[in-house]
Amino acid sequence: MARCEVCGNDYDKAFNVTQLGRTMTFDSFECAIQAMAPRCAHCDCRIIGHGIEAQGRMYCCAHCAKHSGATGVSDRAA
């Protein structure tokens, strides 16, 4: 069994995720998200979906990006 790097649970169905050369072991997607998902630069929530990158910062949505001064961002395709 492998041990989850977030919660410490030993689990026979643990899995590895590699991101930018860093590999970590998890027992659930919840733990993987807590360890590896970026945070919104405005509201600090975990970015689970695509998010928006503006001015070198990551945001969960266009609303947060706009509140931080980004322009030309939209949550919907025109």
pLDDT at 74: 83
pLDDT at 78: 53
69 strand-pairing partners: none
Distance between CA atoms of 62 and 52, rounded to whole angstroms?
A: 7
Per-residue pLDDT of the chain (78 residues; tens, 9 = 90+): 899 999 999 999 999 999 999 999 999 999 999 999 999 999 999 999 989 999 899 999 999 999 999 998 887 755
Encoded tokens for 33: 């998200």
